[in-house]
Amino acid sequence: MYLKLCLELLFLTLFAGAALGASVTIAPDRMAIVDGQRAFILGLYENPDDDAVLEAVAGAGFNLVRASASTEALERLHARRLGAWINTGGHIDLSEGRDQREQSLRDMVAAHAQHPALLAWEVPDEALWNCWYRTVNWRRGHEPTQQREKIGSLADAALAEELRAQLEEVDRLHKRGDFGASEELADDIWRKLGVDPPHPERRLSACAQTAATMCQGMIDGYRLLKEIDPAHPVWMNHAPRNQIAQLAAFNKGADAVGCDIYPVPAYLGGHSDLADRSLASTGAYTLRMQEAAPGKPVWMVLQGFGWADLQKNPTEEVREEKRRPTFRESRFMAYDAIVRGARGILYWGTAYIEKDSELWADLLELVRELADLQPVLSAPDAAIGAAVTLAQTWGSVDRGVEVLPKNVDGKVHLVVVNEFTDPLHYTVNGLDDLEGTVYADPNDDREATVTGGKLTLGIAGHGVQVLAPR
């Protein structure tokens, strides 16, 4: 009852809609402060056209939805007590067309910054990665495919044989890291085919400079945006790629950062390029984003689709292979991000799934659970030195149990996640100040009492426990 009352008061305060618009700041512990109230972000990239679906989004407890830069879109969200973020698009990159883009930013702020629904701005999605991806996608995908097709239609057999050999050499040079030589040779193939190279500017050797130019342009745009609208944070989402130094440079142009990571089915796809491509890569990328943006909140973008949903007319076999996350997987990924330090979770890809699907129902149920825990999730981390030890087991246990203590009005709650695939028996040490406290998870039939400064429990593989003091 206490949590429910706190939640209702929080929503009434956050989205009552002051005439001068919402004020959003970031607390020292990286939690969002909306009109003076702490808020864990629960976001959705989809702004559904169907009013009934949007009502379901609001009812589930989402508090942030992506909106187009229009008063109508903001009004529609505000009527349902939903906050909004708007993507600035390329207008925030002042590396070119500076005068025009500066004016576009000013116009956008003048039109929407005072609307009570607006909580944040977003910069172009995966901006850093796209500096490289467009080139990689062309040089390693579309270009050789198009060249093979043209070579296959040649009447001159000798030339065709020569160009096929040259294509193999392009691939060999690339694979050994001689990118410049590989690209020069690929351009030469076009010329021998009687065609000017379609994208001579797309060179891996030039990507670093392209990124550096965009980075400075976006930082300049960020500074301008903060000057004319200091009341709303700027959010930057990355791909699960790039090095820490690259990410850190771009992150100077944002107040909140994060990345999208969609690891289901685990190990099958290549969305993550970390050594660990399990479901726990969600937590690993959460840590990585914090390393690349010290002191800034991390809002993680999680999987609201199956990879087959992004394909045109996939077969049943493909749908099964590239399946959607189960409720248990979605729940684990959300809490894994949370215990690893995320201050918000947003879902991408729901526009590609049916609204009568199991996954959509699962996400609504999960977000409802997280929304009901707002008083816990938005609370400050508890200042206790909780250290976890594990009982011996049969597995290698290269990942283990992570515990996040939260201080809710002086009472310590423990959010626990098992990042390993098998069940583990764990002990939380350092709980001397909680001696005798009985903890229980409402979804579990067990209790555990802090004895000798320790709490011991078992937890399922990829399990989650939210332990509240009785």
The predicted pLDDT at position 20 comes to 57
The predicted pLDDT at position 8 comes to 45
CA distance 164 to 154: 11
- Per-residue model confidence as pLDDT tens digits over 230-245: 999 999 999 999 999 9
Give the pTM: 0.92
The predicted pLDDT at position 9 comes to 41
Cβ-count burial 121-149 (b if 16+ within 10 Å, e if not): bbbbbbbbbbbbeebeebbeeebbeebee
Q: Which residues of the chain have pLDDT under 50?
A: 1-19
Question: How many whole angstroms from its chain centre is CA 120?
Answer: 16
CA distance 283 to 117: 30
Start-end of CATH 2.60.40.1180 domains in the chain: 387-469
Q: What is the CATH number of domain 387-469?
A: 2.60.40.1180
- The alpha carbon torsion through 130, 132, 136, 137 (nearest 10 deg) reads 10
The predicted pLDDT at position 269 comes to 75
Output the DSSP codes for 219-281.
HHHHHHHHHH-TTS-EEEEE-S-S-HHHHHHHHTT-SEEEEB---PSTTTS-S--SS--STTH
Q: In Å, what is the CA distance from 399 to each residue of 246, 336, 366, 390?
A: 27, 12, 24, 11
Contact assessment for residue 75 and residue 67, using Cβ atoms and an 8 Å cutoff: no
- Which of 304, 367, 306 has the alpha carbon at shortest distance from 338? 367
The predicted pLDDT at position 17 comes to 40
The predicted pLDDT at position 4 comes to 44
DSSP 342: -
